[in-house]
Amino acid sequence: MDRRQFLTAAVAGGAAASLVSPSAEAQVSPVQTSARIVIIGAGAGGTALANRLVRRLEGAQITLIDPRREHLYQPGLTLVAAGLKPGGYVVSDTAKWLPEGVTWLPERVVAVDAEAKTVSTESGETLGYDWLVVAPGLVLDHDAIEGFSLDMVGENGIGALYAGPEYAARTWAAASRFVEDGGTGLFTRPSTEMKCAGAPLKHTFLIDDIARRAGNAGRMNMVYAAPQATLFGVPIVAEKVRMLFEDRGVDTMMNRTLTGIDAGARRATFATGSGSEEVEYDYIHVVPPQRAPDFVRRSGLSWADRWTDQGWVECDMATLRHLRYPEVFALGDVAGVPKGKTAASVKWQVPVVEDHIVAGIEGREGTETYDGYTSCPMITRIGRAMLVEFDYHDNLVPSFPGMIAPLEELWISWLMKEVALKATYNAMLRGRA
């Protein structure tokens, strides 16, 4: 055997050996308890937490309450709205992800009585709890945009990709006509907190790239309009996006809040702070204001002095524990924390809530904390993305420092979004990542 053959054999043997080596992770024996744990919401947060708690606790009564039969992989909606994936790519059965040993109540929650420690559903059922996790997601307030309704999506140059796979697919139907015909494209975002604030930017970049590939760059007038003064909440990322927009010829209209559209005339109305402004478009991407579900505010769980128009749950930003009701936790989109409305945030929040609930059951204090980690594979064109990761302090916190530059448009970051992200998300749902 010569040197080349030896190396070939070594690589093959090493790969095989690494695949059969045992996991180094020690298994912790489950905690015995009869605690009643109610989780409102079987989305990313609720499902991942249920899967982890089932492994950590023995004898606990875990109930998930959620009327949705279909689970949505929301990070995939941008790809559907750019024609890169079919609508079915983001849909799966809720039941598929739920572990053995938990009860799923497919109902809508109407109220929480945090004093009596009960949750009421729309069928009139009342459940008592020892621990409550509020993870119902958020509500898209489409009615706040005058003249807009979801049944308009896909027609007359109107897109709205957040509303679900059907609407993301219809968004692509409208956007693909726009990239063929050209004209003015308006890409908006709301003044409220929102899930993945990078998604409207990604949609802008993708539609611009698709138009360029179609040879229509010269016929496009791309405009990004936002109520904020900057393009992204993290200053260093905002600057990078500003430079990319400048490079691609995407104009911006800052400090403009979309308040209404006239679908027939293809005209959008923006509030400017001192008045209103009308802008004509050929394609508009509508991102409505986003708020906590009504029952959260009605139940007195929301902040009284922050986000008063949005109703996010009042909780500690490090432990996600409710500030007035220590047996209540917020998780995911509904949590009233400065950042964290992405699946990546949920991945980091779930172990924190898990730790504090298990510690509480054992009669001790939990130690895990959440520092606002959020990740956004910011797609800048088909085939390239920036892997932007940051925390509460607007610090960049790259997972692969020195290898994957966070503000560089890279193919590897695109591959992560295309190949690894959904797999990691699914592993998270099963409580294994």
Partner 1 sequence: MQDLTFETLIAVFEEIFGRGLFWFMVAAAVLVTFGYFYVLIRDREVSWKKFLVAQLSMPVGAVLAVWFVMVMTDSRLADLGGPIDIILFLGIAVTGAIGMAILVYTLEALLGTKRTKGEADI
Residue 383 to residue 205: CA distance in whole angstroms: 12
- Least separation, in Å, of the C-beta of 404 and partner 1? 6
Q: Of 7-26, which residues contact partner 1 (CB under 8 A)?
A: 8-9, 11-13, 15-16, 19-21, 23-25
In the complex with partner 1, the residue whose CB is nearer, 120 or 426, is 426
Q: Which of 321, 341, 347, 356 binds partner 1 (CB under 8 A)?
A: 347
In the complex with partner 1, the residue whose CB is nearer, 252 or 424, is 424
Q: Of 40-99, which residues contact partner 1 (CB under 8 A)?
A: 84
In the complex with partner 1, the residue whose CB is nearer, 79 or 250, is 79
What mask of x and - would describe binding to partner 1 in positions 370 to 409, judged by CB under 8 A? ---x-------xxxx--------------xx--xxx--xx
Q: Which of 108, 177, 297, 430 binds partner 1 (CB under 8 A)?
A: 430
User: Quick one: residue 83, left, alpha or beta (phi over 0 = left, psi -120 to 50 = alpha)?
Assistant: left
Q: Which of 129, 131, 348, 390 binds partner 1 (CB under 8 A)?
A: 348
Query: What is the identity of the amino acid at 211?
Result: A
Query: What is the identity of the amino acid at 387?
Result: L
Q: Of 233-252, which residues contact partner 1 (CB under 8 A)?
A: none
Q: Of 125-154, which residues contact partner 1 (CB under 8 A)?
A: none
In the complex with partner 1, the residue whose CB is nearer, 93 or 181, is 93
- Least separation, in Å, of the C-beta of 424 and partner 1? 5
- Least separation, in Å, of the C-beta of 168 and partner 1? 17
In the complex with partner 1, the residue whose CB is nearer, 79 or 114, is 79
Give the orientation angle of helix 44-56 with respect to helix 421-429, to 10 degrees.
50
Q: Provide CB contacts within 8 A for 148, sequence distance 6+.
A: 142, 158, 160, 260, 261, 263, 286, 288
- In angstroms, the Cα distances linking 138 to 78, 129, 163, 290, 424 are 18, 22, 11, 7, 23
- Least separation, in Å, of the C-beta of 9 and partner 1? 7
Number of residues lying near partner 1 (CB under 8 A): 48
- Least separation, in Å, of the C-beta of 375 and partner 1? 9
Q: Of 198-227, which residues contact partner 1 (CB under 8 A)?
A: none
- Least separation, in Å, of the C-beta of 399 and partner 1? 4
Query: If DSSP states are collapsed to H, E and C, what string results for 106-128?
Result: CCCEEEEECCCCEEEECCCCEEE
Residue 330 to residue 304: CA distance in whole angstroms: 16
Q: Does residue number 318 form part of the binding site for partner 1 (CB under 8 A)?
A: no
In the complex with partner 1, the residue whose CB is nearer, 314 or 409, is 409
In the complex with partner 1, the residue whose CB is nearer, 51 or 192, is 51
Is-contact 308 180, C-beta < 8 A? no
159-162 long-range contacts, CB within 8 A, separation 24+: 159/81, 159/203, 159/283, 159/284, 159/285, 159/286, 160/285, 160/286, 160/287, 160/288, 161/77, 161/78, 161/80, 161/81, 161/199, 161/203, 161/285, 162/77, 162/195, 162/199, 162/287, 162/288
Could you tell me which stretch among 166-174, 237-245, 353-361, 415-423 binds partner 1 (CB under 8 A)? 415-423
Sole residue written with tokens 């070939």: 8
* Residue 307 φ/ψ, nearest 5 degrees: 45, 45
Could you tell me which stretch among 42-50, 133-141, 333-341, 411-419 binds partner 1 (CB under 8 A)? 411-419
- In angstroms, the Cα distances linking 366 to 56, 211, 288, 319, 420 are 14, 51, 37, 9, 31
419 closest CA partner among 43, 72, 76? 76
In the complex with partner 1, the residue whose CB is nearer, 317 or 404, is 404
Q: Which of 3, 5, 247, 274 binds partner 1 (CB under 8 A)?
A: 5
- In angstroms, the Cα distances linking 257 to 68, 139, 188, 272, 334 are 31, 18, 8, 7, 22
120 closest CA partner among 41, 65, 43? 65
- Least separation, in Å, of the C-beta of 368 and partner 1? 11
Q: Which of 104, 351, 366, 394 binds partner 1 (CB under 8 A)?
A: 351
Could you tell me which stretch among 34-42, 112-120, 178-186, 412-420 binds partner 1 (CB under 8 A)? 412-420
In the complex with partner 1, the residue whose CB is nearer, 265 or 419, is 419
- The residues that touch partner 1, with contacts defined as CB under 8 A, are 1-2, 5, 8-9, 11-13, 15-16, 19-21, 23-25, 84, 347-348, 351, 373, 381-384, 399-400, 403-405, 408-412, 414-415, 418-420, 422-424, 426-427, 430, 432-433
